[in-house]
Amino acid sequence: MLRAPSTAGRSTPSRVSRATFYYDLGSPYAYLSAERISGLFAEAELEQPEWQPVLLGGLFRRFDRGSWAETEARAEGMAEIERRAAEYGLPPIAWPKPWPGNTLVAMRAATFAKQTGRAVSFSLAGFRQAFAAGRDLTDADNVTIAGAACELHPRALLKAVETEAVKKALREATDRAGDLGVEGVPAVVVGDEVFWGDDRLEVAVEAAGGA
């Protein structure tokens, strides 16, 4: 059974007091975690984690990695994601075409949404556009549909993703994630530990409860 990579116990430059969820809207494993993370933290009666968009391609470049979706493991990985979605009670996975695609604009939009206090609502809408509706987030129209779900006006959203402030914020967030030892997504940082992979989500919640 193919599993998303997972690591724990990495040392970090500084301690983080609140759990942080790192994700890219192009990652189906991150989609699976995004649909579950708020509920798991709520059930554990813990403070909700911060949702932090990062650019997975930037992490790949930094750590000299690539996507399993572009290897011989692609079919096995897709089947595993479909199995997990069914196990979690999520809608059947609808794969966007192309996949994986270029999520740069989508992640800038997620960064802007975070700046306006809409990170969770926008990101869930974006994930669902991609993996429940099978829409390509490379297409700006599909990104604006996700924005409309959290009351971000299409023109304002498209203007924001072209601003240097948003571009810089995404670059800096990705760099900070890398500094913490986040090599891929989904990842949850709790204190000085990185829990990498959808299969580590429950362990991350448990760690947050003991922080």
Give tens-digit pLDDT for 15-51. 346 899 999 999 999 999 999 999 999 999 999 999 9
Instruction: Provide Rg for the chain, Cα atoms.
Output: 16
pLDDT tens per residue, range 76-89: 999 999 999 999 99
Superfamily of domain 16-209: Glutaredoxin (3.40.30.10)
Instruction: Give the confidence band of 210 by pLDDT, cuts at 50, 70, 90.
Output: confident
Confidence at 191, pLDDT banded by 50, 70, 90: very high
Q: What's the predicted TM-score (pTM) here?
A: 0.91
CA 190 from centroid of its chain's CA atoms: 16
In the predicted structure, residue 183 carries a pLDDT above the cut 60: yes
* Residue 1: per-residue pLDDT: 42
Q: Where are the domains of the chain?
A: 16-209
Angle between helices 164-180 and 104-115 (to 10 degrees): 90
Window from 171-175, 181-185, 207-211 with minimum mean pLDDT: 207-211
Q: What is the per-residue pLDDT for 92?
A: 98
Q: Report pLDDT digits (tens) over 108-121.
A: 999 999 999 999 99
pLDDT at 130 exceeding the cut of 50: yes
**Helix, strand, coil tally for the chain in percent (to 5):** 55, 10, 35
Burial of 92 (0-12, 13-18, 19+ CB in 10 A): exposed
8 Å CB contact between 125 and 149: yes
